[in-house]
Structure 1
């Protein structure tokens, strides 16, 4: 499927949650949607899912608007960090409701995952722990087999072992049933290797949109004596630089080979650190 975001803005009172953003996503692909709290990520996902309307601009999915459009919304599954399900429903009723709504629903997978995450079919949502409720959301998202599956901080309350299990199952299911997966998370280091493309949002704007491998290959840290590093980075785009005891480390847009050829030490930058420093800038640049 193809998602076209065309000059989209969303305002709440005097606050711009989104400010004239434009980009295109095409699948199948796993996208990392990153940014600090309040960057506009959740607002974007809600508009994409047809839950709210943009103030200006349009989001088109295969040329159609998602709002009040069942043909499109049944191809999108948004799992938020909480309050996905009515509290009085039993787990088995949640599965049944979503089975009716999603044409590609995989009931066998849903029940397999119920066992994997140790959920009880007769348990009510309000009786689930935070981690178990998150597990139920993950199960619905994966079993929906929706062509656009969106996870917005889906694992609140899950321990590290359960999160790892989720990532492994997500990859397995993605290989079986290709789709667009949009993954918004603050635990970036845990999942960054899953991302094929990265979007970083800041203050309602798109700060960066880049293929993950390209981003890794064209950014690095360079370390050496202050005067040598300053000379090397003088004509390059610098993300941030730090110095201590006559030495300097700079995060720059450059590949590691050129740094090594200059006799300086180069290292890759974790995507989480890159996101932090990029969103500290006053202005970002989209691809």
Structure 2
């Protein structure tokens, strides 16, 4: 499912959560939606799901999503706590709701995921642990097999082993059933290997949209003797550094040209990639203490 956003603005009274945002997602990829707290991620995803009347345009496969029942049936948004069922409903009933709402629902897969995440079917949703409620949301999102599936920090309540099981399951199911998946997360490095394209927003505005591998290529870790590293990085944008004895490693932002690569070899410096999370922090760093 293709997503086209043009001039999108979302306001809550005097607060502008999304500010004249435009971008397009070609579809059939796993996208990472990255932003600091309060950047507008949840407001953006809610509007993509048709929960809010947009100021501007939001189209899915060329059709507006708001008040369009056909388009909305192709979208599944899972927030950090599942809201597909009342807390008094049992897990089995929540799955039945998912089955009733989604033509693309895979009930066999849903029950496989419930077993994988050890969610008791006969327990009421309100009696589940935080991790189990998060896992239930993920079950609903993945089993929906919706052409546009959005997971808004839905994995944060899980413990580490469960999150890793979720990542493996997400990738395997995406490979078997390609669709457009958007994940918002603060656990950037845990999910980095899954993301094909990254959309970074800050203060309601689009900062960057780029393929994950291209974005990673913008940063380089330079390691060698402290004096050589300092010489090489003079005039470059240094994101941070660390030293151990006479050895220093510095993270620099920006593509190195051929002359710089030659100079690095002459100095005996080691060049390597830096983490996607470090690049994200740099790109959303407050300027002058303000964002």
Which TM-score applies when normalising by structure 2? Answer: 0.88
**1:277 — aligned with what?**
282
**2:234 — aligned with what?**
230
Aligned pair count?
277
**1:214 — aligned with what?**
214
C-alpha spacing 1:240/1:92, structure 2 compared with 1 (3 Å): same
**1:59 — aligned with what?**
58
Q: In 2, Cα distance between the equivalents of 1:165 and 1:241?
A: 32
Q: In 2, Cα distance between the equivalents of 1:213 and 1:2?
A: 21
Matches within 5 A, 1:85-234: 85-222=85-222, 224-230=228-234, 233=236
Kept in 2: contact 1:79–1:152 (CA 8 A): yes
Name the Cα RMSD after superposition: 2.2
SS of the residue corresponding to residue 162 of structure 2 reads helix
SS of the residue corresponding to residue 126 of structure 1 reads helix
What is the CA distance between 1:241 and its match in structure 2?
A: 5.6
Q: In 2, Cα distance between the equivalents of 1:201 and 1:218?
A: 18
SS of the residue corresponding to residue 234 of structure 2 reads helix
C-alpha spacing 1:173/1:218, structure 2 compared with 1 (3 Å): same
SS of the residue corresponding to residue 131 of structure 1 reads helix
C-alpha spacing 1:124/1:257, structure 2 compared with 1 (3 Å): farther
Correspondent of 1:267 among 272, 276, 280:
272
Query: Where do 5+ consecutive residues of structure 1 fail to align?
Result: none
**Superposition misfits of 4+ residues, deviation over 6 angstroms:** 243-248
SS of the residue corresponding to residue 10 of structure 1 reads strand
Query: Where do 5+ consecutive residues of structure 2 fail to align?
Result: none
Q: In 2, Cα distance between the equivalents of 1:256 and 1:115?
A: 52
Kept in 2: contact 1:153–1:184 (CA 8 A): yes
What is the CA distance between 1:239 and its match in structure 2?
A: 6.4
Bigger mean CA deviation after superposition, 270-279 or 216-225: 216-225
Q: In 2, Cα distance between the equivalents of 1:47 and 1:138?
A: 20
What is the CA distance between 1:27 and its match in structure 2?
A: 1.3
Q: In 2, Cα distance between the equivalents of 1:243 and 1:169?
A: 36
